[in-house]
Amino acid sequence: MKKREWLIVILPLLATWSLDRITKIWATGITQLKSHGPVHFVLHHNHGAMLGLFSDLPSVLRIVSLSTGGAFLLATYALIQYLLPIKSLTLRSGLSILIGGIIGNVTDRIIWGYVVDFIVVGTPSLSSPAFNVADALQWVGYGLIVYAIIREGELLWPENNVRKQYWVNMPFQLKYCFILMGVGLSLTLICSVFSYTYMRVTIQELVGNNAFLLNKFLVPFVITFMIISVAFCAILFAVGRLISHRIAGPLYAFERFLNQALEGKADAHLKLRTGDEFKHLEELADEINKRLHQIKKERTVNVIEYKEEG
């Protein structure tokens, strides 16, 4: 996509996050119920996830897990935007609005330790759970994503754009995946040592060498970090396979094209998949085809002239 189109895709994320922050800062000043017809504004502190899920978990485990999960989703969003095979501004904008809302709530957890909800819709006898602007806009994002998938599903998963082999060049692709995982694990190890040591020393400085408090805070941290690390490695492996497939696939296709061309097959051609790297190989293949046809034509003319002279 062009730079202008990328700007159109990123702007909804920034706009969603900014609008959410502004409204929540305003909502923190609400001291009593404000009603405007069926819409009511009242301040709620949501210590869990959507609709208060996981609010009974220990605060360290809950806040860290949900915040880190949001960071994972942000990274996943960036990967999806990169790996999407079509432009589809509707789908990409929907993803941006969705992740903007999620990051808005994650920002709350990082800053305050809870999410600010302040909107209730309904009557005293029947009303919705408290929510915020980020929650509402997330549903807009979901709607745009579903609409785009229904409308452009054939473009997202075209039958003629899928290779039959997931592992085109298994040694190279596995090596690529393990290198990527190795880098990720190295960074994870550095972060784990720093975080664990920092937390342990900080707790000891505050409350002394209290085994109960150390276990209360450090054990959930270690468990959460291990789960995140395993998920991170799995994602890195999957991403490595996808990216390496886009590298190895074109080279495999070009090699097959060269073999067909050398065998003299007239129908030899190269057509890469959407999203593949080395797209310039298609032009190179066309040039090779033209040159081979030209050489074949020249040889045919020479043979005819030779026979006529003979």
**How far is 283 from 33, CA to CA, in rounded Å?**
67
**How far is 63 from 221, CA to CA, in rounded Å?**
11
Active site residue 56: no
**Catalytic residue (choose from 20, 56, 108, 117):** 117
**How far is 79 from 185, CA to CA, in rounded Å?**
19
Element housing 117 (H / E) = strand 115-121
What are the tokens at 28? 């923190």
Contact 255, 285 (CB under 8 A): no
Among 269, 271, 259, 265, smallest CA distance to 296 is for 265
What are the tokens at 280? 């310039």
**Catalytic residue (choose from 20, 135, 267, 276):** 135
Among 138, 193, 187, smallest CA distance to 20 is for 138
Q: In what order do the strands lie in the sheet with 34-36?
A: 34-36, 39-46, 115-121
The number of helix segments (H) and strand segments (E) in the chain equals 7, 3
Report the residue count for the chain.
Answer: 310
CB-facing half-sphere around the CA of 34: CA atoms within 13 A = 9
Q: Which residue has the tokens 């694990």?
A: 185
Active site residue 267: no
**How far is 72 from 70, CA to CA, in rounded Å?**
5
Element housing 35 (H / E) = strand 34-36
Annotated catalytic sites, by residue?
117, 135
